[in-house]
């Protein structure tokens, strides 16, 4: 079973490659193939962490690869929608400049916690907050939903952009209060939720 220690990192690398393939499929207008590969990308994100924790093969390299894979998945979804629009496979509900502003500001906010983590703990990394897990699935489903419908709704995009920015604020606040880095920290909100659940029992 020695090979198991390589599985999580392999899945993270595979996520990057599949994210690139996803963009090609969106560009070519292969809607159902795109959706299939998109969910394969999501499966690699789900299983790499579970396998690493279950078999106790978590490493610093694996954490870095997971971060790269997550960014590839996120950027791949945005780029796929962009390429599908450029090639005429979907339309925008509002002028494209509004989408660019919202997404650019959100992307800039995502870089802040990574830089704070680097400054405090000497590594480029992000936390897996409970808040992110809460919004992660619906956010994950946006790209295939838009490509399937053939339209991108600005207000839905803006709502998720605001939620993501709020997540970055919580992550920065959590990083500033942590004494040691723990990628799977629940965050300030998550800790309060956990305390309420314990009191409820």
- Rounded to whole angstroms, the Cα distance separating 165 from 184 reads 19
Mean pLDDT, to the nearest integer, of 15-29? 94
C-beta atoms surrounding 70 within 10 Å: 20
pLDDT at residue 5 is higher than 80? no
Length of the chain in residues, anyone? 201
pLDDT in tens, 114-150: 999 999 999 888 888 888 878 887 888 899 999 999 9
Residue whose entry in the numeric block shows the structure tokens 């965050």: 187
Of 153 and 199, the structure prediction assigns the larger pLDDT to 153
C-beta atoms surrounding 77 within 10 Å: 24
The pair of three-digit structure tokens given for residue 172, joined into one six-digit string: 């920065």
pTM above 0.85, yes or no: no
């Amino acid at each position: 079973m020695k090979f198991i220690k390589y599985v999580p990192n392999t899945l993270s690398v595979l996520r990057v490659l599949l994210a690139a393939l996803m963009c090609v499929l969106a560009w070519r207008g292969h809607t159902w193939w795109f959706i299939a590969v998109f969910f394969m990308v999501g499966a690699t994100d789900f299983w790499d962490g579970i396998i690493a924790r279950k078999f106790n093969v978590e490493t610093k390299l694996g954490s870095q690869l997971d971060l790269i894979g997550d960014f590839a998945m996120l950027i791949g979804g945005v780029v796929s929608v962009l390429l599908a629009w450029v090639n005429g496979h979907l339309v925008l509900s509002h002028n494209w400049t509004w989408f660019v502003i919202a997404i650019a500001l959100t992307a800039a906010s995502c870089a802040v916690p990574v830089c704070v983590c680097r400054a405090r703990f000497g590594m480029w990394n992000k936390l897996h907050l409970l808040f992110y897990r809460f919004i992660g699935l619906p956010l994950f489903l946006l790209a295939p939903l838009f490509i399937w419908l053939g339209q991108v709704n600005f207000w839905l995009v803006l709502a998720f952009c605001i939620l993501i920015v709020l997540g970055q604020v919580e992550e920065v606040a959590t990083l500033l209060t942590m004494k040691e880095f723990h990628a799977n920290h629940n965050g300030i909100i998550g800790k309060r939720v956990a305390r309420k659940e314990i009191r409820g029992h």
